[in-house]
């Protein structure tokens, strides 16, 4: 019986976690560390914010002075971000303040400038004030010595900003898992070659290399193996020197689909050799000579779908972090969908907005070899195996497609 894609994905995670060892540690300049996984925590070097900070342009006041709308205070100065108002503020006074500036001593609220009017040094307030409004108290975001980012955190743009703010200009990260990439098939030629009438250029290897890099791995191309056992064995043995081997093609039931046979001869243990999904049914996952091995179907869309479902969580585990969840969202179906049951379908689709709601439209496609359509898609509509029929307007599950920024498009 074929595994569901969720069961197959969980099996990948279990096996990867069972054999995980602590990756090597390296220290990088922070700008080079985006996408890497922290080996050491990032700790606050001082309180954040380091002072009571205004969140609005307006006037710093004593809330007790503004117990009702229409009251007037004397403006005694101003303070902008990066400066400090040296003297205290007394009853009946206020200080003009800019966003990000330190709140003057003696004041406990900031009134937005939109709710004031000024004549000379007199400021009239349209609203009353409450203590603490529009102020971020010192240390409320983080205390000096507090851990802000734990080891095992993958560095995205927000995490990079935190590290920069606390002065972590050099940062400890785990080494990336090495991923050997091997395509197979006599019909496959290099992308620089002129293909014969029945050959195809090797787009799969480049798409897998890109996916590996976007997923936090270190890709290593080892070529294209012909449909011949001895040659395929040599290529696979070379690929097993990396942490993970990803093959594309050669895993179906045809006469020249030799990947599983060769891996078996090399002592591989298989955890699944088929998944109840379309495209991607023949996906294979095993372990050979203590290395994780993925045999992905050779049709490009199948390769991309199965990489996202199964290889990405393994790379997360081997990178020293937790598997990231699949990037699912919900959206309204633009048109009815009818698929065959018994398998989950991943249909290339386009996600946009209509009437303030996310809308998903399935794109016409010619099957799992149609890379032109997948390049136009920014998502997959996921049709579960237990519900093959969906009406227009149904709220449906959508898997976002991984894009060039490394997350989801």
358 beta partners: 353
Secondary structure (3-state) at 63? helix
What does pLDDT average to over the chain?
94
Q: What is the mean pLDDT of residues 306-335?
A: 96
Residue 409 pLDDT greater than 90, yes or no = no
Cα–Cα distance for residue pair 337/381, rounded to 1 Å? 10
pLDDT above 90: percentage of residues in the chain = 85
Average pLDDT over residues 371-399: 96
Domain with CATH 2.40.340.10 in the chain: 328-400
Q: What is the pLDDT of residue 190?
A: 85
Q: What region does 5 belong to: left with phi over 0, alpha with psi -120 to 50, or beta?
A: alpha
Please, are residues 215 and 315 in contact by the beta-carbon 8 Å criterion? yes
In the predicted model, what is the mean pLDDT of residues 247-257?
70
Task: Output the pLDDT for position 186.
Answer: 85
Q: What is the mean pLDDT of residues 251-269?
A: 81
Distance CA 334, CA 390 (A): 10
Residue 252 pLDDT level (bands cut at 50, 70, 90): low
Residue 347 has pLDDT above 70, yes or no: yes
Question: 107: closest CA among 128, 132, 126, 83?
Answer: 132
This prediction has a pTM of 0.89
How far, CA to CA in Å, does 196 sit from each of 8, 189, 193, 199, 399? 38, 9, 9, 5, 36
pLDDT at 369: 87
Find the mean pLDDT for residues 395-409: 72
Q: What pLDDT digit, counting tens, does each position of 30-52 carry? A: 999 999 999 999 999 999 999 99
Q: What is the CATH number of domain 5-24+176-318?
A: 3.40.980.10
Intervals of CATH 2.170.190.11 along the chain = 53-136
Q: Whats the size of the chain, residue-wise?
A: 409
357 is written with which tokens? 């709601």
Pick the range with the lowest mean pLDDT from 16-20, 79-83, 347-351, 397-401. 16-20
- What does the pLDDT read at residue 216? 95
What is the per-residue pLDDT across 169-184, written as a single tens digit (0 to 9) for each? 999 999 999 999 999 9
Confidence band for 200, pLDDT divided at 50, 70 and 90: confident
User: β-pairing, 379-383 with 200-201?
Assistant: unpaired
Tokens encoding 140: 């409320």
- 67-81, 321-335, 392-406: least confident range: 392-406
Query: Per residue in 101-159, pLDDT tens?
Result: 999 999 999 999 999 999 999 999 999 999 999 999 999 999 999 999 999 999 999 99
Q: Indicate if the pLDDT at residue 397 is higher than 70.
A: yes
Report DSSP state, residue 4. Answer: P
State the pLDDT at residue 403.
65
Compute the distance between CA of residue 321 and CA of residue 5 in angstroms, rounded to an integer. Answer: 22
Q: How many CA atoms lie within 13 A of 343 on its CB side?
A: 15
CATH number belonging to the domain at 27-45+150-174, selected among 3.40.50.261, 3.40.50.2000, 3.90.105.10, 3.40.190.10? 3.90.105.10
- Residue 404: its pLDDT value, please? 57
Nearest to 168 by CA among 141, 147, 138, 143: 147
Q: What is the mean pLDDT of residues 67-93?
A: 96
Tell whether the model's pLDDT for residue 28 goes beyond 70: yes
| pLDDT for residue 344 is more than 70 | yes
Residue 258 scores a pLDDT above 80: yes
Portions of the chain given CATH number 3.90.105.10 = 27-45+150-174
CA-to-CA separations, 224 to 87, 196, 307, in angstroms, rounded: 74, 16, 18
Report pLDDT for 168: 97
**What is the dotted CATH code of the domain comprising 53-136?**
2.170.190.11
Rounded CA gap, 36 and 215, in Å?
Answer: 10
Residue 405 is predicted with a pLDDT of 42
Of 251, 276, 296, the residue nearest 382 (C-alpha): 276
CATH number (3.30.365.10, 3.10.150.10, 3.20.20.480, 2.40.340.10) of 328-400 reads 2.40.340.10
| Digit-coded pLDDT (tens) for 54-71 | 999 999 999 999 999 999
């Amino acid at each position: 019986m074929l595994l569901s894609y969720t069961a197959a994905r969980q099996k990948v995670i279990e096996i990867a976690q069972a054999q995980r060892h602590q990756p090597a540690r390296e220290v990088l300049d922070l700008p080079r560390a985006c996408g890497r996984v922290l080996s050491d925590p990032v700790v606050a070097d001082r309180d954040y914010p380091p002072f009571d900070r205004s969140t609005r342009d307006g006037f710093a006041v004593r809330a007790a002075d503004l117990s009702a709308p229409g009251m007037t205070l004397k403006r005694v100065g101003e303070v902008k971000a990066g400066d400090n108002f040296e003297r205290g503020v007394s009853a009946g006074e206020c200080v003009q303040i800019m966003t990000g500036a330190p709140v003057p001593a003696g004041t406990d609220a900031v009134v937005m400038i939109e709710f004031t009017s000024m004549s000379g040094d007199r400021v009239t307030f349209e609203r009353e004030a409450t203590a603490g409004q529009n102020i971020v108290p010192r240390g409320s975001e983080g205390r000096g010595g507090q851990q802000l980012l734990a080891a095992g955190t993958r560095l995205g743009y927000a995490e990079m900003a935190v590290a920069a703010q606390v002065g972590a200009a050099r940062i400890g990260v785990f080494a990336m898992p090495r991923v050997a990439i091997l395509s197979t098939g006599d019909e496959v030629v290099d992308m620089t070659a002129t293909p014969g009438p029945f050959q195809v250029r090797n787009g799969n290897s480049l798409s897998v290399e890109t996916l590996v890099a976007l997923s936090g791995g270190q890709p290593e191309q080892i070529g294209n193996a012909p449909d011949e056992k001895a040659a395929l064995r040599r290529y696979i043995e070379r690929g097993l020197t990396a942490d993970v081997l990803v093959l594309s093609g050669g895993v179906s039931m045809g006469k020249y689909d030799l990947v599983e046979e060769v891996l078996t001869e090399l002592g591989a243990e298989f955890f699944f050799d088929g998944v109840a999904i379309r495209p991607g049914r023949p996906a294979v996952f095993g372990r050979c000579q203590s290395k994780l091995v993925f045999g992905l179907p050779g049709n490009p869309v199948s390769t991309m779908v199965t990489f996202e479902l199964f290889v990405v969580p393994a790379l997360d585990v081997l990178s020293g972090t937790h598997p990231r969840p699949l990037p699912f969202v919900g959206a309204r179906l633009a048109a009815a969908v009818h698929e065959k049951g018994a398998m989950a379908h991943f249909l290339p689709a386009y996600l946009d907005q209509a009437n303030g709601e996310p809308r998903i439209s399935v794109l016409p496609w010619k099957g799992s070899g149609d890379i032109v359509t997948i390049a136009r898609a920014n998502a997959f509509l996921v049709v579960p195996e237990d519900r093959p029929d969906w009406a227009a307007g149904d709220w449906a599950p959508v898997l976002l497609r991984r894009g060039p920024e490394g997350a989801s498009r």
